[in-house]
Amino acid sequence: MLNTLFIAIVLCIIHIILGQSDIQYLIFEGGGPDEGPGPNQTLNIASLKRTFGEINPTAQRMYAYGKQQMRFLTRSNAFVRSELETAFTLAENTNTPLFIHIDPIYGWGADEENSTADAPTIKYWNNETMREWIEFPLNKSQLPNRIPRTWFNWGSWCSPSSAFPAIGAPNFINFSAIQFNESIAKPLAQWIIKLNKENKSYLFAGINIGWETNILNYRQIDPTHLPTAVWPVNSRNITMQQWEAGAQLGYASLYWQGWTEEKLIIEAQHRNITRDVLFNLLCYEIIHNYLEVLAKVCYDNNISRERIFTHIVPMASVDASRIDTTVPPIWTAVNSYSIPGFTMDNRGAAIYNLTELKYQITIVDPSQSHFAVSESYLFNYGDEESMRDNLNEAFNNGGLIKAIYGALPFSSEDPQPAGAIKAIQQWLNTNHTLILK
């Protein structure tokens, strides 16, 4: 009896100390690959309320709506800031927590702005010091003239920009960090201060600063069957070039860090590893550092580490032989300014071993007991039992958030999976037990 009372008091104190940071959020995101101006969030929020009821400000579990694909690399700061302000206002007016997700690598919306005022100050895809190559330059005065497009397959082929950013190049990192700070992190920090004053800090569910962050390669492409872009609509007449098939990107990132082919070979010999192993290792460090830079921009604005999330694919936790620059090692997602996050779908392509994944996180950061499901899907989890198990697996093992993509709107054209919805309703209505560290 006394024990129970004591535990209750301790839990109560912990709840007060942690404030809102112990809320678990289930995030619903709408939209497809080429979201354009975005889904109608008013309708999305209305369907969330209809399905799950109003948000209880004292609850320990909440749903949130996701503002996706914030295009800070392909739009002006003013444009992005204005989209963000709209999202803040909607969250406050509807009392619905907001989750933010950025596009840090793909370049969705490149060259699709409606006016020059909406364009970024620098278009990285046109800047010779900020875009990727598939080879080193022959010499300093002759940079490569073959610039690979951004290509990836999300069920359909996507090619949103005419170049992939050199995420290890100092000029690009500097541009990206300043652009991200001015358009998103700074206004977000101001909003969080406002929410705190209003006792509504629960309305900020978090920010994902990655998006399966990786350095692309086109190794699997058969040069006799070159893909043609399906998304975005403006790229639909574009087919991959013969010379892009089989290519590895990353050379510009390495070059602008001071690497050449000769230096790579000498350093590889020095480390007693192959040149290709060293190349990949340097790319993994670049992926890690780019995630860290964007997380730190948020952290330096006093945004809590528990609300900043990274995002890579998780397959390295299942099969180390699959690791390459598109399937980076788990440690690339771990840094001191954020919670490591992953796409997680054991019934799809993003397969993971949670035990191994958590183990690999703690090798890098022994104090890190949390992780995030930065991307998942309703698809394949439509029945009640599947969704219940899926939610319990994440949230009973240190998961802070779980984002579900393509989940909204719950419209008549896109019927709700009734079993999954029931499991989510039950999850929302159950208070989670605080786990003592």
Residues lying near ligand NAG in the complex (CB under 6 A) are found at 37, 40, 42-43, 58-60, 114, 122, 127, 129, 138-139, 141-142, 171, 174, 177-178, 181, 186, 189, 198-199, 237-238, 272, 297, 300-302, 353, 355-356, 359, 429, 431
Report in angstroms how near the CB of residue 84 gets to ligand NAG at its nearest: 14
CB nearer to ligand NAG: give 95 or 382.
Answer: 95
Rounded to 10 degrees, the C-alpha dihedral 306/310/315/317 comes to: -40
CB nearer to ligand NAG: give 35 or 212.
Answer: 35
| Pairing of the two strands 61-70 and 98-102 | parallel
CB nearer to ligand NAG: give 337 or 417.
Answer: 337
Report in angstroms how near the CB of residue 297 gets to ligand NAG at its nearest: 5
On the CB side of 97, how many CA atoms lie within 13 Å of its CA? 29
- Interhelix angle 41-52/77-94, rounded to 10 degrees, is 30
CB nearer to ligand NAG: give 243 or 359.
Answer: 359
As beta bridge partners, residue 342 has 312, 373
CB nearer to ligand NAG: give 20 or 417.
Answer: 20
On the CB side of 115, how many CA atoms lie within 13 Å of its CA? 4
Query: CA dist 428 to 26, 54, 357, 422, Å?
Result: 9, 11, 26, 10
Report in angstroms how near the CB of residue 280 gets to ligand NAG at its nearest: 16
| SS3 at position 27 | strand
Q: Edge-to-edge strand order for the sheet containing 399-408? A: 308-309, 204-208, 98-102, 61-70, 24-30, 399-408, 371-377, 341-343
CB nearer to ligand NAG: give 138 or 363.
Answer: 138
Do residues 72 and 183 make contact, with C-beta atoms less than 8 angstroms apart?
Answer: yes
DSSP secondary structure code for residue 149 in this structure:
P
- CA 303/CA 362 separation, integer angstroms: 23
CB nearer to ligand NAG: give 324 or 356.
Answer: 356
- CA 344/CA 394 separation, integer angstroms: 10
Report in angstroms how near the CB of residue 301 gets to ligand NAG at its nearest: 5
Report in angstroms how near the CB of residue 272 gets to ligand NAG at its nearest: 4
Report in angstroms how near the CB of residue 82 gets to ligand NAG at its nearest: 10
CB nearer to ligand NAG: give 159 or 310.
Answer: 159
CB nearer to ligand NAG: give 382 or 425.
Answer: 425
Report in angstroms how near the CB of residue 25 gets to ligand NAG at its nearest: 15
CB nearer to ligand NAG: give 171 or 380.
Answer: 171
∠ CA 62-307-297, nearest 5°, is: 150
Report in angstroms how near the CB of residue 199 gets to ligand NAG at its nearest: 4
Report in angstroms how near the CB of residue 114 gets to ligand NAG at its nearest: 4
Do residues 171 and 256 make contact, with C-beta atoms less than 8 angstroms apart?
Answer: yes
Cα dihedral 105, 108, 111, 113 sign: negative
Report in angstroms how near the CB of residue 58 gets to ligand NAG at its nearest: 3
The CB density around residue 265, as the number of other CB atoms within 10 Å, is: 13
Report in angstroms how near the CB of residue 61 gets to ligand NAG at its nearest: 8
CB nearer to ligand NAG: give 128 or 383.
Answer: 128
- The span from the first CA to the last CA of the chain, in angstroms, equals 23
- CA 170/CA 181 separation, integer angstroms: 16
| SS3 at position 403 | strand
